[in-house]
Structure 1
Amino acid sequence: MEYRHLGASGFKVPVLSFGTGTFGGKGEFFQAWGATDVAEARRLIDICFDAGVTMFDSADIYSSGASESVLGEALKGKRDKAIISTKATFRFDDGPNNVGSSRFHLIQAVDSALKRLQT
């Protein structure tokens, strides 16, 4: 696997990542993408690891957080082998500050994502 530096951080990330938008399958929109459960996610993660793909991309909005929950459960016992990237900008619930890229929203979103990811 080829790695590149993430900006000027000194952190190296693989050039390929695996998207988890199909994990969870909650809601009409994401159910149309797929409804990968924990067992299937484990199988896909093992395939990724075998191919050298160690970075997994998610977002809080994917299946209302279920994607991150499935990913976290599927990575149990393998978390130290994985890099997780997740996103948070879109509205996740009805709170007046639960949208956008404000410091408040991003800190809240990171804390919530870490819980769902069990990390």
Structure 2
Amino acid sequence: MEYRVLGRTGLKVSAYCFGVMTFGGVGRFSHMGQVQVEEARRLLDQCFDAGVNLVDTANVYSNGVSEEILGEALGDKRKDVLIATKFHSPMGTGPNDQGASRHHIIQACEASLKRLRTDYIDLYQAHNQDLLTAPEESMRALDDLVRAGK
């Protein structure tokens, strides 16, 4: 497997990433796949055997179920894998349950950490642009998460 340095992070990531949008299959994601824990373990093991070390998901995939299945399927292999997840999309019906405000970023991160069964995320990304929130607000929230070890 070829590995590349992710920006200036020092992290070496596999040239291929395993996307797990098919994990869960809930709601509007049901037509994309309905992979459950046992099959997820099998698929992840195949990827790891091939040298893949980056797994990508998002909180919105199957309304968080993708993250839950990934967290359960990884188990003690978490330490050997880089997890990328995303925030932005609506995760509730409240006026602040989406976007890139500090409030939503912190709340979404904490919820993702719980679903992923981990205390840190390796790559946390905005899934879309938020034209209502100043970029400095979003960047400060993300920087604070990094400084907190999340």
Instruction: Give the TM-score taking structure 1 as reference length.
Output: 0.94
Paired residue total: 118
Once residues 102 and 7 of structure 1 are traced to their aligned partners in structure 2, the CA distance between those partners, rounded to angstroms, is 24
| CA root-mean-square deviation | 1.0
Q: Which amino acid aligns with 1:4?
A: R
Larger deviation: 41-50 or 100-109? 100-109
What corresponds to 2:4 in structure 1? 4
Once the two structures are TM-superposed, the CA of residue 45 in structure 1 deviates from its matched residue by: 0.4
Once residues 76 and 9 of structure 2 are traced to their aligned partners in structure 1, the CA distance between those partners, rounded to angstroms, is 27
Once the two structures are TM-superposed, the CA of residue 15 in structure 1 deviates from its matched residue by: 1.9
1:40 has 2:29 as partner: no
Q: Which amino acid aligns with 1:105?
A: H
Once the two structures are TM-superposed, the CA of residue 10 in structure 1 deviates from its matched residue by: 2.3
Q: Which amino acid aligns with 1:3?
A: Y
Once the two structures are TM-superposed, the CA of residue 26 in structure 1 deviates from its matched residue by: 0.7
Once residues 100 and 12 of structure 2 are traced to their aligned partners in structure 1, the CA distance between those partners, rounded to angstroms, is 24
1:102 has 2:94 as partner: no
* Deviation readout 1:5-37 (Å, 9 max, x if unpaired): 22222222222110000001111x211011000
Once the two structures are TM-superposed, the CA of residue 87 in structure 1 deviates from its matched residue by: 0.6
Once residues 31 and 100 of structure 1 are traced to their aligned partners in structure 2, the CA distance between those partners, rounded to angstroms, is 24
Q: How does 1:1-119 map to 2 (within 5 A)?
A: 1-27=1-27, 29-119=28-118
Once the two structures are TM-superposed, the CA of residue 2 in structure 1 deviates from its matched residue by: 1.9
Once residues 70 and 114 of structure 1 are traced to their aligned partners in structure 2, the CA distance between those partners, rounded to angstroms, is 13
- Identity percentage over the alignment? 53
Once residues 103 and 2 of structure 2 are traced to their aligned partners in structure 1, the CA distance between those partners, rounded to angstroms, is 35
Instruction: Give the TM-score taking structure 2 as reference length.
Output: 0.75
* Deviation readout 1:80-102 (Å, 9 max, x if unpaired): 11110001111111121111112
Once residues 65 and 117 of structure 1 are traced to their aligned partners in structure 2, the CA distance between those partners, rounded to angstroms, is 9
Which is greater in Rg? 2
Gaps of 5+ in 1: none
Higher-RCO chain (CA-CA 8 Å, sequence separation at least 6): 1
